[in-house]
Chains A and B, each alone.
Chain A
Amino acid sequence: MTALATPEFEAANEKQKRRRGLLLALPSYLYLIVFFAFPLLIVVLYSFATRNRFGGTDLSGWNLDSYARLGEPIVRTILFRSLGLAILTTLICLLLAYPFAYFLATRGSTIRNVMLVFVMIPFWSNFLVRNYAWRVLLGNDGPFSQLTEFLGFGETRVLFTPTAVVIGLVYGFLPFMILPLYAAIERIDGRVLEASRDLYANGWQTFRHVLWPLSRSGVIAGSILVFVPSLGAYVTPEILGGAKTTLLGSYIVSQFLEARNWPAGAAVSFVLMTVMLGATLVYFRSGGRNL
């Protein structure tokens, strides 16, 4: 700040800064209140209502029955299974995406822009068509099975196994990890890394003590963008996993659609969102210091 700073000036400046901040936030703030928070409140209200005989929702006779259902053992099984899958997906994405984003960030400006766009282009085809393409790739006598046979590992049946689900989820969410990581790594000043090397740090030490801490904001953002949606994913597990085990995403869908039990669906979603929001905020605000 400038040398002129008197307490009065500071205070006025601070006040102006606050106003500017609010002004900047206001459009999206209002947008989200009207088109998200308010609709969400309706859903929360529904979670205390009752499913009527023909699958509609009676907005009367408020109760906590839908929340009581969450204590059932099957729900716990589903929750832990989904958590495991989401954590695995996030870790694999991070492992693949970090070196990738770093490689990208170290290319010349034209090349890295092209490379970045070519990461996204496959995703402008159609979601279902991509999933069905994986079904063919992993199917009986599909290219993947032929490859493993050719390599001498014999035929493999990957389709409709948990492995296929993980492959599908990693494929679907990898860009969500790459983009924030790239945005975070690209801004790191190369001279810092060089300085580290000049000080005779080896590659690992430079990574652990310089690069990783400086790119942490990207790691956090990326893990959240991958973890959260893979926890609720249901189309990929159904197409590639054959819907043989119930995951959280399909559990919620089955409550809303198959059972036409909106209060139950709303209650599960509400609890899930509260827990995830709490975890996310703690994770973000700590700046991922435990990493």
Chain B
Amino acid sequence: MSVAKPRGATNTALGLNAFVVYLFFYAPILLLVLFSFSDDNIVGRWGGFTLDWYRDFGENDEVQSALSVSVRVAIISTLISVVLGTMAALALERFRFRGERVFDALLYLPVIIPDVTMAVMMLIFFTSLDDLIGLQVTKGFSTITLSHVAFSISFVSIVVRARLAGMNQTLEEAAQDLYATRWQAFRHVTFPQIMPGIAGGALLALTLSLDDVVITQFVAGPGSTTLPVYVFGLIRRGVTPLINAVSVVMLGASITLVLLSLLAQRARGGSDPVA
């Protein structure tokens, strides 16, 4: 399905706007990449070309372990919250059930709550589990992931619901009339239709998880520092281009992944691909 292409002048104006938006998105990224090659401690003061920051990254165990924790938390929490968030969106848009209104309201709260409030409440929560039900929680990777899922579910479900709302249901009903099972109808009809929403939600969840500092800081334990928390700690002594280099590596890796998946789709003969 595709929206009709706009004509002539409108199309040009839209294209121009898109260009400006991309310029806006990538202006700081260009600067960030540029200064990852600068031989000066301060980002913004050019000190001649160097690859030292990349070598530092290769030798710095703390940064590497922080990056690896970040990536693992982001991937796992995104997977979980995409599944849960999509189910929640389907339930709310397609069904009526007991407790629906409460659920609806509950689902918005993680978007609304201020970061630091959620951070403090998760800290109290995890440490009081021991007193409440005798469950001793070791803070670290798992508590970070659990907290990230708690806020990501909401973001995913909001984006998926924007897709589901008012979507044409005739296809699904037709499939069921043709004796497709519910699962088959979902798998072959509904799922491809809501895929752009799910993909958007997943991208959002991934981004939120990769960027979160405050909540992570409060629920982390020894050895589970994520990259944003590490960088946040650095600002006292100055964020050196080392962090730019780390960012460039992450950007490079994600661009490569995107291009590879495109090639793979080409090779498969690409039906409407995953966004």
Residues of A within 8 A of B (CB): 1-2, 17-22, 24-25, 27-29, 31-33, 35-40, 42-43, 46, 96-97, 99-100, 102-106, 108-110, 112-130, 132-137, 139, 142-143, 171, 174-176, 179-191, 193-194, 203, 214, 217-218, 220-222, 224-225, 228-229, 232, 235, 248-249, 252-253, 256-257, 262, 265-266, 269, 272-273, 276-277, 280-281
Contact (Cβ within 8 A) B228 A127? yes
Name the interface residues of B21-37: CB closer than 8 Å to any CB of A. Answer: 21-22, 24-29, 31-32, 35
Q: Chain A residues near B232 (CB, 8 Å)?
A: 128
CA distance A123 to B166 in the complex (A): 30
How many A-B contacts if CB must be within 8 Å?
Answer: 332
B40 on interface, CB distance cutoff 8 Å: no
Contacts of B84 in A (CB 8 A): 27-28, 31
**In the complex with contacts A106-B4, A190-B3, A221-B161, A35-B29 CB distance below 8 A:** no
Residues 200-242 of chain B: 1 if any A CB is under 8 Å from the residue's CB, otherwise 0? 1101101100110100000000000001100110010001000
CA distance A183 to B150 in the complex (A): 23
Q: Which of B158, B251, B265 contacts A180 (CB 8 A)?
A: B158
Which of B28, B106, B158, B239 is close to A221, meaning CB atoms less than 8 Å apart? B158
Q: Do the beta carbons of B150 and A35 come within 8 Å of each other?
A: yes
Would you call A22 and B262 a contact (CB within 8 A)? no
B239 to chain A: closest residue by CB? A132
Report which of B103, B114, B121, B150 forms a contact with A29, defined as CB distance below 8 A: B103
Nearest opposing residue in chain B for A120, CB measure: B203
Residue with the highest number of chain B CB atoms closer than 10 Å, among A100, A117, A139: A117
Measured between beta carbons, the chain B residues less than 8 angstroms from A179 are 159, 200-201, 203-204
In the complex, are the beta carbons of A256 and B31 less than 8 A apart? Answer: no
Please report which residues of chain B, range 1-27, place their CB below 8 angstroms from some CB of chain A when the two chains form the complex: 1-6, 10, 13-15, 17-18, 20-22, 24-27
12 contacting pairs across A/B (C-beta < 8 A): A17-B95, A21-B100, A24-B91, A100-B14, A103-B14, A129-B244, A134-B28, A171-B24, A179-B201, A179-B204, A232-B114, A248-B114
| Cβ A187 vs Cβ B239 within 8 A | no
Min CB distance A24 to B, Å, is: 4
Alpha-carbon gap, A110 to B272, bound state (A) = 8
The dominant DSSP class at the A interface is helix
Known interface pairs A18-B97, A281-B105; 9 further A-B residue pairs with C-beta atoms within 8 A, sorted by A's residue number: A99-B17, A126-B231, A128-B231, A128-B232, A183-B162, A190-B2, A225-B155, A225-B159, A265-B120
Please tell me if the beta carbons of A187 and B163 are within 8 angstroms of each other in the complex.
yes
Q: Are A22 and B91 in contact (CB under 8 A)?
A: yes
Interface string of B235-275 (1 = CB under 8 A from A): 10001000110111011001100100010010000101111
Do A114 and B116 have beta carbons less than 8 Å apart? no
B44 touching A136 by the CB < 8 A rule?
A: yes
- Tell me if A116 and B275 are in contact (CB < 8 A): yes
List the A residue with the shortest CB-CB distance to B124.
A42
